[in-house]
Structure 1
Amino acid sequence: MQALSSFLLLALLLSSSPLLANKQIKLTSLDWPPYSGPTLPEKGASVAVVKAAFEASGYQVQVDFFPWERAVALAKDPNKGYAGYFPEYYAQELEADCVFSEPIGTSPLGFAQHKQAPVTWIGLDDLSTLKIGVVSGYVNEAEFDKRVAAGKQPVEAVTGDDQNLKKVGVKRLPLAVIDKHVMNYLLNNDPSLDSFKANIEFNGKLLEDKKLHVCFRKGPQSAEYSKALADGLKKIDIEAITKKHFQ
Structure 2
Amino acid sequence: MTLLKQALISLALIFSPLLKADVLTLTSLDWPPYSSQQLKQKGASIAVVSAALKEMGHELKVEFYPWERAVHLAKNDARYAGYFPEYLFESSDLLFSDSIGLGPLGFAENKAKPVQWSALADLKSYTIGVVRGYVNTDELDQMIANGTLKSEAVNSDSQNLTKLGHKRIPLAVIDSNVFQYLIDNTPSLQPFKADLQMNPKLLVEKSLHVAFTNNQDGQRWQEILNQGLKRIDVDKIMADYLAK
User: How high is the TM-score relative to the length of structure 2?
Assistant: 0.90
1:10 aligns with: none
1:235 aligns with: 231
Cα distance between partner residues in 2 of 1:115 and 1:19: 55
1:214 aligns with: 210
1:91 aligns with: 89
Cα distance between partner residues in 2 of 1:18 and 1:115: 52
2:66 aligns with: 67
2:146 aligns with: 150
1:141 aligns with: 137
2:159 to 149, 155, 163: 163
2:104 aligns with: 108
Q: How far did 1:245 drift? A: 2.8
Cα distance between partner residues in 2 of 1:35 and 1:202: 18
Cα distance between partner residues in 2 of 1:17 and 1:106: 29
Q: 1:181-220 counterparts in 2 under 5 A?
A: 181-220=177-216
Instruction: Give RMSD over aligned pairs.
Output: 1.5
2:6 aligns with: none
SS of 1:245's partner is helix
SS of 2:38's partner is coil
Structure 1 letter corresponding to 2:241: H
Q: How far did 1:85 drift? A: 0.1
Structure 2 letter corresponding to 1:161: D
Cα distance between partner residues in 2 of 1:164 and 1:60: 35
Cα distance between partner residues in 2 of 1:122 and 1:39: 37
Q: How far did 1:223 drift? A: 1.9
User: How high is the TM-score relative to the length of structure 1?
Assistant: 0.89
SS of 1:171's partner is coil
Q: After TM superposition, which residue ranges in structure 1, 4 or more long, deviate above 3 angstroms?
A: 16-21
1:9 aligns with: none
SS of 2:115's partner is coil
- The alignment of Structure 1 onto Structure 2 pairs a total of residues equal to 229
Cα distance between partner residues in 2 of 1:183 and 1:232: 30
2:42 aligns with: 43
Cα distance between partner residues in 1 of 2:187 and 2:212: 35
Structure 1 letter corresponding to 2:131: V
Q: How far did 1:54 drift? A: 1.2
Cα distance between partner residues in 1 of 2:105 and 2:19: 38
Structure 1 letter corresponding to 2:50: K
Cα distance between partner residues in 2 of 1:137 and 1:125: 22
Q: How far did 1:20 drift? A: 9.1
SS of 1:108's partner is strand
1:175-204: CA deviation from partner (whole Å, max 9, x where unpaired): 000000000000000011000111000001
Q: How far did 1:104 drift? A: 0.4
Could you tell me which runs of 5 or more consecutive residues in structure 1 were left unpaired when the two chains were aligned: 1-15
Cα distance between partner residues in 1 of 2:18 and 2:220: 19
Structure 1 letter corresponding to 2:39: L
1:86-133: CA deviation from partner (whole Å, max 9, x where unpaired): 0001111xx121101101001100000011111010101001110000
Q: How far did 1:18 drift? A: 5.7
1:84 touches 1:217 (CA, 8 Å); kept in 2? yes
